[in-house]
């Protein structure tokens, strides 16, 4: 099979690398984030709704902080509420974190056929380091955190940097994402995109395919899923 007119080097998989988002895609941490957002805002006398939580999914933290300050109706300096939230979430990340449905199985199968992989998250490095104690330090050749970029998601900088450090063309990679900012970053990068639409429909593009979860998705099924758009 060819991508962009070039034959793939791995006969078992059509992409040169897979770039994973972390929260909600690799690990089932978004309910935890929402719980801590709600706890923080309720301590300020604010009812935190599902709509509020959906708006904040995928960050970046500057956006979340601005939104929380507006919702609080109080005068907070920039960064104060996001700093409190990160401290609360970090305490939760110190314990075991569950994988998102199907993520571990797909991750391990990709490892077994030696597919290059990177983790690209809008979370800060300290949270990623804590999370990696749950899912393993050696699963990803490259890890990009919010601390490594000037422009967070939805800017594609993190994904472009990951591809550069892996030594692959971004247009020959697959990105797995679940949030609207993350999907925006993935689509803008020029990669193929698998969108996990567990919180509702995500933005479409010619290189994007959506599923409700990774559950039951093998490497062979993933390759078959993308075959129609790979061969256009």
pLDDT of residue 137: 75
φ and ψ of 139, to 5 deg:
-85, -20
Q: Mark the ranges of the chain whose per-residue pLDDT is less than 70.
A: 1-9, 232
3-state SS, residue 209:
strand
Candidates 158, 214, 165, 187; CA nearest to 26 is 214
DSSP 8-state assignment for residue 52: H
The Cα–Cα gap between 172 and 161 comes to 14
Domain 2-28+99-230 CATH superfamily: HAD superfamily/HAD-like (3.40.50.1000)
pLDDT of residue 1: 47
pLDDT of residue 9: 60
The Cα–Cα gap between 115 and 157 comes to 22
Question: Element (H or E) spanning 120, and its range?
Answer: strand 116-120
The CATH T-level fold of domain 30-93 is: DNA polymerase; domain 1 (1.10.150)
Q: How far is CA 41 from CA 82, 89, 214, in A?
A: 11, 14, 32
Query: Tell me: the pLDDT tens digits for 33-71?
Result: 999 999 999 999 999 999 999 899 888 889 999 999 999
Candidates 198, 193, 223; CA nearest to 213 is 198
User: Could you tell me if 34 and 54 are in contact, meaning their C-beta atoms sit under 8 angstroms apart?
Assistant: no
Q: What pTM did the predictor assign?
A: 0.88
pLDDT of residue 232: 67
pLDDT of residue 148: 97
Angle at 165 between CA 60 and CA 173, to 5 degrees: 75
Does 2-28+99-230 match 30-93 in CATH topology?
no
Domain-wise residue ranges, the chain: 2-28+99-230, 30-93
Helices assigned H by DSSP within 118-232: 125-135, 157-166, 180-189, 219-230
The Cα–Cα gap between 21 and 193 comes to 11
pLDDT of residue 4: 52
What the block records as the tokens of 151 is 């422009």
């Amino acid at each position: 099979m060819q991508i962009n007119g070039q034959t793939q080097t791995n006969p078992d998989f059509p992409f040169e690398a897979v770039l994973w988002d972390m929260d909600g895609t690799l690990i089932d941490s978004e309910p935890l984030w929402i719980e801590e957002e709600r706890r923080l805002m309720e301590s300020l006398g604010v009812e935190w709704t599902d709509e509020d939580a959906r708006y904040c999914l995928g960050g970046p933290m500057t956006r979340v902080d601005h939104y929380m300050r507006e919702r609080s109706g109080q005068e907070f300096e920039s960064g104060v509420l996001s700093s409190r939230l990160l401290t609360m979430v970090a305490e939760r990340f110190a314990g075991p974190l569950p994988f998102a449905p199907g993520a571990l199985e797909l991750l391990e199968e990709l490892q077994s056929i030696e597919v290059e992989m990177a983790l690209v998250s809008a979370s800060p490095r300290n949270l990623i380091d804590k999370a990696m104690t749950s899912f393993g330090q050696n699963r990803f050749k490259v890890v990009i955190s919010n601390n490594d970029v000037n422009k967070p998601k939805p800017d594609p900088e993190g994904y472009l940097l990951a591809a550069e450090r892996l030594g692959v063309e971004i247009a020959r990679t697959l990105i797995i994402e679940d949030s609207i900012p993350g999907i925006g970053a993935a689509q803008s990068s020029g990669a193929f995109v698998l969108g996990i639409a567990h919180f509702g429909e995500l933005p479409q593009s010619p290189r994007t395919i959506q599923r409700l979860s990774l559950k039951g998705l093998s490497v062979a099924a993933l390759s078959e899923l993308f075959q129609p758009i790979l061969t256009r």
